[in-house]
Chain A
């Protein structure tokens, strides 16, 4: 396959934000996750846990609660006192409405999904009616003394439980008055703590209220009498979250020690109808606070300060022992945060509120496989570009020539011109961006850096011609009538003639840039697209999907290529299909048209289309170099997929030229080092 010089980059100092809330939607099997920086991500659990959508964060919008209502409408509420509804099609915020109760700590949608309840700092519980396109304030419940930190509806919708500080209130929804107030013991391991915060409540249909609190207790209350039924002390620290399954036969709690406990309703003795809640399984997949848990029919989902989203399937609920039965730990976003200028060997790193531009170093030495070469020039940090305003960056891009940088937040689009004079670099903002260029989901420069392609969140694609220090709007492709789906992925052909764009669900559209019209649409596939690229010369469009399938589509021929058909007929190697992170980037070898480079977080692969495809019997990944094998055997075992797992977690990889690769790694240890220290636990003696 060949020898490469690899720029191994570990200075991308990216730290994902901690997870604050998770909300599972049973109807669409999707999971909404909000992070401490206000970002909201949507994971499609049916599509191999792919992060198919995201809403950028905002400095002032700390999300404290997240819920699905009315089927598939997503709401969040936060400490700025606003309730926000998200537009899942256009990928922007539909509206934000102030609840006028101070910071909002909790939110719950009614069992039928038509009402929304928020718990505020001032101790009020507010009921909102969900109308088809907005929400409408209905009334306040009896105001409590202190903030309402948790809320739960009775499945019939007649009562609610609200967790506050030191007590739990049970409200009658009709009258809005508190019918019970259940005081929680402040004692913590025999010592009276100052306060006991009820972090979570769950109201079961038999009238039981389960509460979790800062004293490490899981308590069962009888809401009819307002009495404590049972008490489980499960942690030395706060129990911060609770989620109950739809059948109410199991629930999950998360603690500040990073432990997740599974409780199940089991028969007291075999074949007796009397059942009781038993703590069955502890899971320690987190190092830090588990701030949020969710319970899907088949899995426990947890997330917290350590930024991992953990999906732990319940083995007894998993019918087929396939790859879905494996534990998933999602740490990195399923999109690209890095772009690269091949010509100037520059890397642009995207952070939440700034961009960093680095120039790669160089070496004159050569070596053999595995050698680290002495640097003749180290990598340079050229630029640190801070955004203006509180909004997070959605996307960014550097042009292949290295002279343009573009990025976008939710409301503004920025374009910069870079000038290099020897070692000096000057930055000039291109002012007066047109009004339609307000927010972009994806930005892309053409190979010759003369055109800029912008996918806006209204589904339209803008083409802008770049001139020295200015620009000219060339054309806008409007979305197909009737669709408002936004395009999240773009790819342009190296000859500049074709532009491919893909949304989250519909097929990939291919536009002819010369004639400025839609050329064709690649048939829609069941699974979302995770990466797109157009090959040089052949103009074959390579598409990677979240179920790990890779298709090759000939744009001029408007059909799948022969190779793609062959591999679909034969099927991918089972180990290839079992990888659990999506392919996030595809690129091509400039000199070898048969080679495709693609990577996910744990491997990169060069597919050599000229070699035979591997079948399930062949070894897909062979980490050992062939040493004493004869050439014959090597040729016989050689197959099209050349895989390397040396660099991981791999956030970006590209071919700078035919012999040079750049790999951006983000070791997990470096992320952990930047997190606050976890709760200290005794290791020796108990």
Chain B
């Protein structure tokens, strides 16, 4: 979970920041040291952990710094621009900015960008971009104009894509926004028009960006208080053309729609953004961390003295102007997962207080390995690599698990498996799971006493198994008469053969009520999932019973219902068994292959099942929509098909059983009444049609009318 730590101010003395706030906060080549440029004449180098300035440089009176100072990571020098055109380069030893290297350029500079691993870039106000070296070689070179006249650069970002630098800058012209992506390996400039969608009237107030393999994800905070995301392809399909990109709503109303002061947005990692601004129209300004994946507010901090609406994020620190002080708020985050949110993820605590997010989990497996955050990109990548490296030399987790399976105890396997499953899916997840199941089943065969029930249940619930992937699984479950497992298999596997369905049916019908109750207990103690289904089924069952007030006298053969089901006595089977039978009804089959197996079911069980089906049918026909209540109940078609199948398979037997006689009679009555209804409907169909015609004629207008029509 993301958390904000205690804030601290960097400068004891207030900076000479006017209402515009700071020009910028930039990293220097040493960790923990940052260059802060105020909007006047001063650049200060701070060491954050010591909370003190290391150096300060000012330009002459009358000059004004127009672009935040940056550090050239290749040389360790600092660069700043004053009076739009004058470039100054100095290092730590220099005292007076007036005496350091100076170059006067031929055009106004918008910003200088510098990130680790590449030379600094100079972006001119007209949209042209130059490398620093090339520029210094010939400072007075002619700078071309890239963007059109009224376009103004609003925001810009420099980052690495596949080890190649790329520059993104956003321009605005009469309320329209354009994004330019300049890649330097191919030297292509692509232009995109940002389509604002319906929120045309709102103004974009802040941008932030993240990059993955294919897209630059540009997030923008609008004046309506919502965050929108725009995906810009890294490789343009057709760089010549002006392409359009649409944005989509990511988060709604994170700040108040009409914030007086500026609001700011910055991306912390793939799933977290920091937003600066008042959450409610009247409230004080707040720094909030939002999880975009789950759309939740993770944490927030009130900034009572107001801010300048600027926010920077480097490493683990958020920089902002709080009142008149430059404030740093350290920020920590671990990658969120649903399991984490629910408290189920076992955090490996060995990393201890290390504030780095556990990036290995989801991103590497999902192919986001090269994605990075918007700040300190190269370092971030490096760090992540380190973590990956620390994992890789070990044996893959699955192999480890497989070896565990071969020798360890059930309990231990279970724990290991849980750990394994907590790590999210790799592309070969299905095969790995298949291997694990095969390994488990192999050991089951070898050791009759070995039956890792919980592990198997867990594996089935990964939703990647099918019957054909592990044919032995159901066999083992049948052997052990593990109805809960069988039910789960029937629910999860799309390809259970008819013979196995039939075997399951036999078990479900023959298993004693007492042992069913027992399984219930064991189910409760083991798996939440089967628990909930069980509950659902129970609920549904009770609902059925409550609705069906008429206790059907036709059901001669009845069993004592469970106490929970109340005094309703109509259902011929207990809810637990009903749940099992429903799993059968839901499974897919083909008649031809099922029929021969159905013949093997004993007469008594056939009758019981028929009674249950008939009971369901009665319930169905009680309401107009012909459906059963509850979540995912058997459909009428499934019920009818099974009745027909059972009768087809066992007709001669059923006819001979005295206790089935009543049932057959009532079924016969039902069918007969249905035929009657159909024939009656057919008879009155003509009348229906006449009625319909009359109805139409009523709506029909006269053959001739004079009407008034206004065209707009």
Question: How far apart sit A8 and B705, CA to CA, in the bound complex (Å)?
Answer: 5
Which residues in window 681-712 of B have CB below 8 A to A?
A: 681-682, 685, 696, 700-712
Question: How far apart sit A369 and B707, CA to CA, in the bound complex (Å)?
Answer: 8
Q: Does B1 interact with chain A (Cβ within 8 Å)?
A: no
Which residues in window 337-369 of B have CB below 8 A to A?
A: none
Evaluate contact between B708 and A11: CB separation under 8 angstroms: no
**Contact partner of A646 among B674, B681, B682, B709, CB < 8 A?**
B709
Evaluate contact between A1 and B682: CB separation under 8 angstroms: no
Query: Interface 1/0s, chain A 604-629, versus B by CB < 8 A?
Result: 00100000000000000010011000
Please judge, given known A-B contacts A11-B704, A378-B704, A669-B696, whether A6 and B685 are in contact too, CB under 8 Å. no
Evaluate contact between A606 and B682: CB separation under 8 angstroms: no
Question: How far apart sit A363 and B706, CA to CA, in the bound complex (Å)?
Answer: 8
Evaluate contact between B706 and A375: CB separation under 8 angstroms: yes
**Contact partner of A8 among B678, B679, B704, CB < 8 A?**
B704
Question: How far apart sit A362 and B706, CA to CA, in the bound complex (Å)?
Answer: 8
Using CB atoms, name the residue of chain B closest to A626: B712
Evaluate contact between B709 and A6: CB separation under 8 angstroms: yes
Using CB atoms, name the residue of chain B closest to A606: B711
Residues of B within 8 A of A669 (CB): 696, 700
Please judge, given known A-B contacts A10-B701, A626-B712, A685-B675, whether A373 and B681 are in contact too, CB under 8 Å. no
Query: Interface 1/0s, chain A 40-52, versus B by CB < 8 A?
Result: 0000000000000
Please judge, given known A-B contacts A683-B682, A684-B681, A685-B682, whether A4 and B712 are in contact too, CB under 8 Å. no
Q: Does A317 interact with chain B (Cβ within 8 Å)?
A: no
Question: How far apart sit A606 and B709, CA to CA, in the bound complex (Å)?
Answer: 13
Question: How far apart sit A461 and B627, CA to CA, in the bound complex (Å)?
Answer: 72
- 17 sample A-B contacts, Cβ–Cβ < 8 Å, listed by A number: A1-B710, A4-B708, A6-B708, A8-B704, A10-B702, A10-B703, A11-B704, A362-B706, A369-B708, A372-B706, A625-B712, A661-B709, A669-B700, A683-B685, A684-B678, A684-B682, A685-B674
- A627: min CB distance to chain B, Å: 10
Residues of A within 8 A of B711 (CB): 1-4, 606, 642, 644
Using CB atoms, name the residue of chain B closest to A622: B712
Evaluate contact between A373 and B701: CB separation under 8 angstroms: no
Q: Is the interface of A mostly helix, strand, loop or mixed?
A: loop
Using CB atoms, name the residue of chain A closest to B681: A684
**Contact partner of A361 among B674, B682, B700, B706, CB < 8 A?**
B706
Residues of B within 8 A of A661 (CB): 709
**Contact partner of A367 among B675, B702, B708, CB < 8 A?**
B708
- B262: min CB distance to chain A, Å: 31
- B679: min CB distance to chain A, Å: 7
Using CB atoms, name the residue of chain A closest to B676: A685
- B691: min CB distance to chain A, Å: 14
Question: How far apart sit A595 and B704, CA to CA, in the bound complex (Å)?
Answer: 27
- A360: min CB distance to chain B, Å: 8
- A638: min CB distance to chain B, Å: 8
Most buried by B among A7, A644, A661, A685: A685
**Contact partner of A1 among B674, B700, B712, CB < 8 A?**
B712
**Contact partner of A682 among B675, B682, B710, CB < 8 A?**
B682
Chain B contact residues (Cβ within 8 angstroms of A): what range? 20 to 34
Which 9 residue pairs across A and B have the least CB separation, nearest first?
A685-B678, A684-B681, A1-B711, A369-B710, A11-B703, A3-B710, A367-B708, A379-B704, A10-B703
- B232: min CB distance to chain A, Å: 22
Which residues in window 1-21 of A have CB below 8 A to B?
A: 1-11
**Contact partner of B707 among A1, A362, A371, A625, CB < 8 A?**
A371
- A222: min CB distance to chain B, Å: 30
Q: Does A370 interact with chain B (Cβ within 8 Å)?
A: yes
Q: Does A368 interact with chain B (Cβ within 8 Å)?
A: yes
Residues of B within 8 A of A646 (CB): 709
Query: Interface 1/0s, chain A 555-574, versus B by CB < 8 A?
Result: 00000000000000000000
Evaluate contact between A368 and B708: CB separation under 8 angstroms: yes
- A94: min CB distance to chain B, Å: 42
16 further A-B contacts with Cβ under 8 Å, apart from A7-B704, A683-B685, are: A4-B710, A6-B709, A9-B704, A11-B703, A362-B706, A368-B710, A369-B708, A369-B710, A370-B707, A372-B705, A372-B706, A375-B704, A379-B704, A625-B712, A682-B682, A684-B681
Using CB atoms, name the residue of chain B closest to A683: B685
Evaluate contact between A3 and B708: CB separation under 8 angstroms: yes
Using CB atoms, name the residue of chain B closest to A661: B709
Which residues in window 226-264 of A have CB below 8 A to B?
A: none
Question: How far apart sit A7 and B707, CA to CA, in the bound complex (Å)?
Answer: 7
Residues of A within 8 A of B682 (CB): 682-685
- A51: min CB distance to chain B, Å: 27
Evaluate contact between B703 and A685: CB separation under 8 angstroms: no
Question: How far apart sit A1 and B709, CA to CA, in the bound complex (Å)?
Answer: 11
- B687: min CB distance to chain A, Å: 12
Residues of A within 8 A of B703 (CB): 9-11
Evaluate contact between B681 and A683: CB separation under 8 angstroms: yes
Using CB atoms, name the residue of chain B closest to A358: B704
Query: Interface 1/0s, chain B 657-686, versus A by CB < 8 A?
Result: 000000000000000001101110110010
Question: How far apart sit A379 and B708, CA to CA, in the bound complex (Å)?
Answer: 17
**Contact partner of A644 among B700, B701, B704, B709, CB < 8 A?**
B709
Using CB atoms, name the residue of chain B closest to A378: B704
Question: How far apart sit A367 and B709, CA to CA, in the bound complex (Å)?
Answer: 9
Residues of A within 8 A of B677 (CB): 684-685
Question: How far apart sit A403 and B584, CA to CA, in the bound complex (Å)?
Answer: 83
Residues of B within 8 A of A5 (CB): 706-709
Residues of A within 8 A of B706 (CB): 5-8, 361-363, 372-373, 375
Residues of A within 8 A of B702 (CB): 10
Evaluate contact between A642 and B712: CB separation under 8 angstroms: yes
Please judge, given known A-B contacts A10-B701, A669-B696, A685-B679, whether A373 and B707 are in contact too, CB under 8 Å. yes
- B165: min CB distance to chain A, Å: 36
Question: How far apart sit A378 and B685, CA to CA, in the bound complex (Å)?
Answer: 38
Residues of A within 8 A of B685 (CB): 683-684
Using CB atoms, name the residue of chain A closest to B684: A684
Question: How far apart sit A368 and B679, CA to CA, in the bound complex (Å)?
Answer: 51
Residues of A within 8 A of B700 (CB): 667, 669
Residues of B within 8 A of A362 (CB): 706
**Contact partner of A4 among B678, B679, B696, B709, CB < 8 A?**
B709
- A522: min CB distance to chain B, Å: 30
Most buried by A among B675, B700, B704: B704
Which residues in window 30-63 of A have CB below 8 A to B?
A: none
Residues of A within 8 A of B710 (CB): 1-4, 368-369, 625
Which residues in window 147-173 of B have CB below 8 A to A?
A: none
- B83: min CB distance to chain A, Å: 44
Using CB atoms, name the residue of chain A closest to B678: A685
Question: How far apart sit A190 and B611, CA to CA, in the bound complex (Å)?
Answer: 37
Which residues in window 481-521 of A have CB below 8 A to B?
A: none
Query: Interface 1/0s, chain A 622-654, versus B by CB < 8 A?
Result: 100110000000100000001010100000000
- A65: min CB distance to chain B, Å: 36
Evaluate contact between A8 and B712: CB separation under 8 angstroms: no
Residues of B within 8 A of A667 (CB): 700
Question: How far apart sit A59 and B667, CA to CA, in the bound complex (Å)?
Answer: 61
Residues of B within 8 A of A361 (CB): 704, 706
Evaluate contact between B704 and A3: CB separation under 8 angstroms: no
Question: How far apart sit A622 and B700, CA to CA, in the bound complex (Å)?
Answer: 24
Evaluate contact between A3 and B709: CB separation under 8 angstroms: yes
- B675: min CB distance to chain A, Å: 7
Please judge, given known A-B contacts A10-B701, A669-B696, A684-B678, whether A372 and B707 are in contact too, CB under 8 Å. yes
Using CB atoms, name the residue of chain B closest to A684: B681
Evaluate contact between B707 and A8: CB separation under 8 angstroms: yes
Question: How far apart sit A508 and B578, CA to CA, in the bound complex (Å)?
Answer: 79
- A493: min CB distance to chain B, Å: 26
**Contact partner of B681 among A11, A371, A626, A685, CB < 8 A?**
A685
Question: How far apart sit A369 and B712, CA to CA, in the bound complex (Å)?
Answer: 11
Question: How far apart sit A372 and B696, CA to CA, in the bound complex (Å)?
Answer: 19
Residues of B within 8 A of A370 (CB): 707-709
Residues of B within 8 A of A4 (CB): 708-711
- B640: min CB distance to chain A, Å: 14
